[in-house]
Structure 1
């Protein structure tokens, strides 16, 4: 899909949507802008996962199914983290 040329208005529309979702930030004035990621990779992954969970009828079941499919090492790490106080975001 991205191998084909896109109209510049299409690209601007996509960038505006990503900016509205908080995924990217726009820097610059006037007609010239630079776009960059709105956060670190981990933060963006959390945002994406949260959007998916918010769209589900039963997000708890999805999380449980996801955790059940994780490698044992990651599941053990999650169990250890459950017993720690939550970190401030």
Structure 2
């Protein structure tokens, strides 16, 4: 994003909004991860700690979720770069 047309105060405000949305996105993703892995892996409520099977399931679930999220983010960045490259070619 090009914020060069904004004053320093406006740039700071936009940056603050972007950071807040990024943090909200992180919290949302983390919440989905916890919910999905808990629902998938935790079945025995007779103990306050996870069984070794549940623990391994949670670890695998979290690893797959994070790998998927990283791939989606990378693909989104690739698509965004393509769009921005096309805009520069049209305007430049």
TM-score of the alignment, normalized to the shorter chain, above 0.5:
no
Q: Which has the larger strand fraction? A: 1
Structure possessing the higher radius of gyration over alpha carbons: 2
The structure, 1 or 2, with the larger RCO (C-alpha pairs under 8 Å, 6+ apart) is 2
TM-score by length of structure 2 reads 0.30
TM-score, normalised on structure 1?
0.31
Structure with the bigger percentage of helix? 2
